A and B are shown apart, each in its own frame.
Chain A
Amino acid sequence: MIRRNNVTVAGRPDGPVMLFAHGFGCDQDVWRPLLPYFAQDYKLVLFDHVGAGNSDVDAYNREKYGSLDGYAADLLEICDALGLENVTVMAHSVSAMIAVIAAGQDPGPFSDLIMIAPSPRYTDDPAEGYVGGFSREDIEGLLASLDSNYFVWAASLAPMVMGNPQDPGLSDSLRDSFCRTNPSVAQHFARVTFFSDTRQELKRVRTRSLILQCTDDLLAPPEVGKYLNDNLTRSTLVHLQATGHCPHISSPADTAAAIRRHLDDRT
Chain B
Amino acid sequence: MTSSAGPGLPDFQAWFQQAPCGYLIADDAGRIEAVNDTFLSWSGYSRPDLRGLRVQDLMPVGDQILYSTHCIPQLNIAGAVSELAVEIIGADRKRRAALLSAARFPASGEQRGSVGIIIFSAHERRLYEKELVSALRAAEVSESRRASAEKELHRLALHDRLTGLLNRAGLEAKLDQLLAAHDGRGRSLAALYIDLDHFKAVNDSLGHAAGDELLVAVAGRIKSAALGTSTIARLSGDEFIVVDSFQSTQAATAQAAGLLETLRTPVLLGGLEVVISASIGVAVVAEEAETIEELVRRADIALYRAKASGGNQWELHRPTEADPTADRLRTVGELRNGISDGALRVYYQPRVHLRSGAVDGVESLVRWQHPTRGLLAPSEFIGIAEDSGLVRPLGAWVLDETLRQAERWRKQDPATGELQYAVNLSARQLNDPELVRMVERALQARQMDPARLLLEITETALMTDPEAALSSLTDLKDLGVGLAVDDFGTGYSSLTYLKKFPVDELKIDRSFIAGLGLEAGDAAIVASCIDLAHAVGIRAVAEGVETPEQAEALIAMGCDLAQGYYYAQPLPAPLLKAWLDANSKDGLVAEP
A25 pairs with B79, CB closer than 8 A: no
| A57 contacts B by Cβ under 8 Å | no
User: Interface code B310-326, partner A: CB below 8 Å = 1, 0 otherwise?
Assistant: 00000000000000000
Residue of B68, B83, B87 near A245 (CB, 8 A) is B68
| A40 contacts B by Cβ under 8 Å | no
Q: How far is the CA of A93 from the CA of B144 in the complex (A)?
A: 30
B60 pairs with A145, CB closer than 8 A: yes
| A60 contacts B by Cβ under 8 Å | no
Q: How far is the CA of A244 from the CA of B65 in the complex (A)?
A: 11
A26 pairs with B73, CB closer than 8 A: yes
- Count: A-B pairs, CB below 8 Å: 136
B77 pairs with A245, CB closer than 8 A: no
B77 pairs with A33, CB closer than 8 A: yes
Q: How far is the CA of A174 from the CA of B74 in the complex (A)?
A: 10
Interface residues in B381-406 by Cβ distance below 8 A to A read none
Among the 9-residue stretches B133-141, B255-263, B448-456, the one with 4 or more Cβ atoms under 8 Å from chain A is B133-141
- Tell me the nearest residue of chain A to B130, going by C-beta: A148
Q: Which residues of B have CB within 8 Å of A250?
A: 29, 72, 76
A175 pairs with B79, CB closer than 8 A: yes
Among the 9-residue stretches B101-109, B182-190, B269-277, B464-472, the one with 4 or more Cβ atoms under 8 Å from chain A is B101-109
Shortest beta-carbon distance from B50 to chain A in Å? 18
| B64 contacts A by Cβ under 8 Å | yes
Q: Which residues of B have CB within 8 Å of A179?
A: 70, 73-74
| B69 contacts A by Cβ under 8 Å | yes
Interface residues in A160-181 by Cβ distance below 8 A to B read 160-161, 164, 166-167, 170, 174-175, 178-179
Interface residues in A124-181 by Cβ distance below 8 A to B read 134, 138-152, 155, 159-161, 164, 166-167, 170, 174-175, 178-179
| B129 contacts A by Cβ under 8 Å | yes
Q: Which residues of B have CB within 8 Å of A32?
A: 77
A147 pairs with B133, CB closer than 8 A: yes
Residue of B76, B85, B87, B106 near A166 (CB, 8 A) is B106
Q: Which residues of A have CB within 8 Å of B133?
A: 147-148, 150
Shortest beta-carbon distance from A38 to chain B in Å? 17
Q: How far is the CA of A167 from the CA of B108 in the complex (A)?
A: 10
| B62 contacts A by Cβ under 8 Å | yes
Count residues of chain B with CB under 8 A from any CB of chain A: 43
Q: How far is the CA of A245 from the CA of B71 in the complex (A)?
A: 11
Interface residues in A18-65 by Cβ distance below 8 A to B read 23-26, 29-30, 32-33, 62
Interface residues in B102-151 by Cβ distance below 8 A to A read 103-106, 108, 126, 129-130, 132-133, 136-137, 140, 144
B80 pairs with A159, CB closer than 8 A: yes
A145 pairs with B104, CB closer than 8 A: no
| A9 contacts B by Cβ under 8 Å | no
A148 pairs with B129, CB closer than 8 A: yes
A249 pairs with B129, CB closer than 8 A: no
A134 pairs with B61, CB closer than 8 A: yes
| A8 contacts B by Cβ under 8 Å | no
Q: How far is the CA of A142 from the CA of B456 in the complex (A)?
A: 82
Shortest beta-carbon distance from B496 to chain A in Å? 59
Q: Which residues of B have CB within 8 Å of A167?
A: 79, 104-106
- Tell me the nearest residue of chain A to B31, going by C-beta: A243
A246 pairs with B68, CB closer than 8 A: yes
Q: Which residues of A have CB within 8 Å of B83?
A: 152, 155, 160
Residue of A62, A145, A151 near B63 (CB, 8 A) is A145
B77 pairs with A142, CB closer than 8 A: no
Shortest beta-carbon distance from A225 to chain B in Å? 16
Q: With A141-B61, A145-B63, A167-B106 in contact, do A243 and B79 touch (Cβ < 8 Å)?
A: no
Shortest beta-carbon distance from A45 to chain B in Å? 19
| SS of B interface (majority) | helix
Shortest beta-carbon distance from B30 to chain A in Å? 8
A141 pairs with B60, CB closer than 8 A: yes
A160 pairs with B82, CB closer than 8 A: yes
| B532 contacts A by Cβ under 8 Å | no
| A219 contacts B by Cβ under 8 Å | yes
- Tell me the nearest residue of chain B to A155, going by C-beta: B83
Q: How far is the CA of A249 from the CA of B56 in the complex (A)?
A: 18
| A184 contacts B by Cβ under 8 Å | yes
- Tell me the nearest residue of chain B to A176, going by C-beta: B78
Shortest beta-carbon distance from B124 to chain A in Å? 14
Q: How far is the CA of A138 from the CA of B63 in the complex (A)?
A: 9
Q: How far is the CA of A238 from the CA of B101 in the complex (A)?
A: 34
Residue of A62, A170, A178, A219 near B65 (CB, 8 A) is A219
| B366 contacts A by Cβ under 8 Å | no
- Tell me the nearest residue of chain B to A143, going by C-beta: B62
A244 pairs with B68, CB closer than 8 A: yes
User: Interface code A221-265, partner B: CB below 8 Å = 1, 0 otherwise?
Assistant: 000000000000000000000011110011000000000000000
Shortest beta-carbon distance from A63 to chain B in Å? 10
| B226 contacts A by Cβ under 8 Å | no
| B84 contacts A by Cβ under 8 Å | yes
User: Interface code B80-102, partner A: CB below 8 Å = 1, 0 otherwise?
Assistant: 11111111000000000000010
Residue of B62, B76, B82, B106 near A138 (CB, 8 A) is B62
B82 pairs with A170, CB closer than 8 A: no
Q: Which residues of B have CB within 8 Å of A138?
A: 61-62, 65
- Tell me the nearest residue of chain B to A31, going by C-beta: B77
Q: Which residues of B have CB within 8 Å of A246?
A: 68-69, 72-73, 76
Q: With A30-B73, A179-B73, A184-B140 in contact, do A218 and B68 touch (Cβ < 8 Å)?
A: yes
| B66 contacts A by Cβ under 8 Å | yes
Q: With A138-B62, A166-B108 in contact, do A152 and B84 touch (Cβ < 8 Å)?
A: yes
- Tell me the nearest residue of chain A to B140, going by C-beta: A184
Q: Which residues of A have CB within 8 Å of B106?
A: 166-167
Q: How far is the CA of A262 from the CA of B103 in the complex (A)?
A: 35
B76 pairs with A33, CB closer than 8 A: yes
Q: With A139-B62, A152-B84, A178-B74 in contact, do A23 and B101 touch (Cβ < 8 Å)?
A: no
Q: Which residues of A have CB within 8 Å of B79?
A: 164, 166-167, 170, 175
Interface residues in B537-587 by Cβ distance below 8 A to A read none
Shortest beta-carbon distance from A232 to chain B in Å? 23
- Tell me the nearest residue of chain B to A144, going by C-beta: B62
Q: Which residues of B have CB within 8 Å of A161?
A: 80-82, 101, 103
Q: How far is the CA of A23 from the CA of B136 in the complex (A)?
A: 26
What are 8 A-B residue pairs whose CB atoms fall within 8 Å in the complex? A32-B77, A142-B63, A142-B65, A144-B62, A160-B82, A170-B79, A174-B78, A246-B68
Additional 11 contacts, C-beta under 8 A, given A148-B130, A166-B106: A24-B69, A144-B62, A147-B130, A148-B129, A149-B85, A151-B129, A152-B82, A159-B82, A167-B104, A217-B68, A218-B65
The 5 closest A-B pairs by CB, nearest first: A141-B62, A25-B69, A142-B62, A25-B70, A145-B62
